[in-house]
Amino acid sequence: MATQLKNLSDFSETDVPSAAPYHFGIVVAEWNAEITNALYQGAYESLLEHGALIDNIFTYSVPGSFELIAGADILLKNKKLDAVICLGCVIQGETRHFDFICDAVANGISNVSLKYSKPVIFGVLTTDNQQQAIDRAGGKHGNKGVEGAVTAIKMANLFETLN
């Protein structure tokens, strides 16, 4: 259960509630599949580690990170979920495509979250190059998929507590 904090010392980054009661959606972008598969593995295993049930995790793939928005929207419209984790990887290219996609995905995901009043997690790597992405998909800087799963569990728990 999420508890109301009285002072900062009550807070611990390592406290993760049990994921057992919750239903999760995971939407994974196919672009940069090597990276997004690693994010997905991290997120999925982390949900299970924290007690989520296999039958309560619903995974779908979409073509690119831009489609994560519609993917999350469709999932929340059609399934009873407590949180959706969006996983993607956008790598800087030579055009402004990068900026448009990153802005659209960040705004779109937060709009879907507010529309359904459910946590929709931004597990999208936005990097200058492939190596930076590898470093954050199970490499030396951790795995953004794991971070996304832990965030989803914490937020599902918070929404449950406050609703």
| Binding stretches for ligand DLZ (CB under 6 A) | 29, 31-32, 63-67, 88-91, 93, 97, 101
Residue nearest to ligand DLZ (CB): 64
In the complex, least distance from residue 36 CB atom to ligand DLZ, rounded to whole angstroms: 8
Query: Is the Cβ of residue 34 or residue 49 nearer to ligand DLZ in the bound state?
Result: 34
Q: Could you tell me the two tokens for 105?
A: 């995905």
Is the CB of 93 or the CB of 140 nearer to ligand DLZ?
A: 93
147 is in an annotated binding site: no
User: How far apart are the two ends of the chain, measured CA to CA in Å?
Assistant: 12
23 among known catalytic residues: no
- 84 annotated to a ligand binding site: no
Q: Is 132 exposed, middle or buried, given 0-12, 13-18 or 19+ CB atoms closer than 10 A? A: middle
> C-beta of 66: minimal distance to ligand DLZ in Å?
4
Q: Classify 51 in phi/psi space as left (phi over 0), alpha (psi -120 to 50) or beta.
A: left
66 among the known binding-site residues?
yes
Nearer to ligand DLZ, 79 or 97 (CB): 97
34 is in an annotated binding site: no
Q: Which of 23, 50, 97, 141 is catalytic?
A: 97
Q: What share of the chain is helix, strand, coil (3-state, %, to 5)?
A: 50, 20, 30
Q: What is the rounded CA–CA span in Å between residue 64 and residue 87?
A: 10
